[in-house]
Structure 1
Amino acid sequence: MEPEVWRWIWLGAAAIFVVGEIALTGSFFLLPFGAGAVAATVVAFTGAEAAWQWLAFVVISAAAFAALRPMARRMASGGNPVGVGAGRLVGETGQVTSASGMSDGRLGTVRVGREDWHAEADDGSPLEVGQPVEVVRIEGTRAVVRRTT
């Protein structure tokens, strides 16, 4: 095959691998092949023989696999890391900073860490300013809290 043709074959392969990776959204399976094909494209445009192009493709693809597999495994293990989202507050302690006269004082504001949250008592009891509480769950934008001693 003509050396000129290999340039375009590698360029097309690189595009297909990268677009395929985008379609698979984060699997990191085709991306290493795309990196290898880009390297082979560069080698092909320098005028090197096909054997050198294939060597670049194989070596760069293998190196990219070795680099990306640990990251792909971490991402596949899933879930939000601890400390992300409102659910991170469950089990945390805070203090009531204000109690509302509405609903017999059952609603108020609590400070958990450096954040203020609208809150309500899980047992329906009134919240008292200064009272220590523990977050039981989050319901929408409101923390449901339990009195602690």
Structure 2
Amino acid sequence: MFDWLIQNTWVLWLVLLLGLAAVETITLDLFFIMLSMGALAALIASLAEAAFFIQVLLFCVVSLLMVLLVRPVALRHLKLGTKDQRTNIDRLVGEDALTLEPVSGLSGTVKIGGDTWTARTADGSSLPAGERVSVSRIDGATAVVTGVRQPDPGTTAAP
């Protein structure tokens, strides 16, 4: 068995490549995928029938270069994004909502999009049911809202 593995080192590199890639899918840290790229380089060298010492050296050098040079750039690009790409709770801040029941500084219910949220007002005032409000922040599972100022009926909007 050991003699077979020495003659077929590509199997060792393939198992290492797949194992490191599997660990990367769990950690999502872009570290183990860099090591798997080193294993890929060693696998290619093995298939080209390079000496085992060269394969190991290639694995070490490619892995080190990937970790030191490629990983920081990849992490920087992953963290780039515009402020328009808000996710989760951040996307709710500034959204319009409709009060389903009166909202006070202590309790109330609003509908944001298609979801019903417990709510309270930011300044402690009371808002009647059926009024349009704006979400100023999310505090735990409670939307903190402020009333939306309605235009005066006597004024007309500019075209």
Query: If the length of structure 1 is used for normalisation, what is the TM-score?
Result: 0.59
Q: Cα 1:41–1:90, aligned 2, differ >3 Å: closer, same or farther?
A: same
Match of 1:111 in 2: 111
Coordinate RMSD, CA, aligned? 4.4
CA contact (8 A) 1:134 1:148 kept: yes
Q: 1:124 to 1:76 in 2, by over 3 A?
A: closer
Which of 57, 75, 78 aligns to 1:75? It is 78
**Which structure has more RCO (C-alpha within 8 Å, separation ≥ 6)?**
1
Q: Counterpart of 2:153?
A: none
In 1, distance between residues paired with 2:31 and 2:75?
A: 9
- Matched residue type, 1:116: T
Paired residues in the alignment total 132
User: Does 1:84 pair with 2:87?
Assistant: yes
Alpha-carbon distance between aligned partners in 1 of 2:106 and 2:29, rounded to the nearest angstrom: 48
Q: d(CA) in 2 for partners of 1:81 and 1:39?
A: 39
Unaligned ranges ≥5, structure 2: 150-159
Offset at 1:116?
A: 1.3
The answer on 1:38 being equivalent to 2:40 is yes
Equivalence map 1:17-36=2 (5 Å) = 18=20, 25-29=27-31, 31-36=33-38
How many Å separate the matches in 2 of 1:81 and 1:6? Answer: 52
The within-5 A match list for 1:1-149 is 4=6, 7=9, 11=13, 14=16, 18=20, 25-29=27-31, 31-41=33-43, 44=46, 46=47, 48-50=49-51, 71-77=74-80, 82-99=85-102, 107-149=107-149
Aligned residue for 1:37, secondary structure, equals: helix
- Measured in 1, the distance between the counterparts of 2:84 and 2:6 equals 49
CA gap 1:7/1:69 in 2 versus in 1, 3 angstroms: same
Letter matched to residue 38 of structure 1:
L
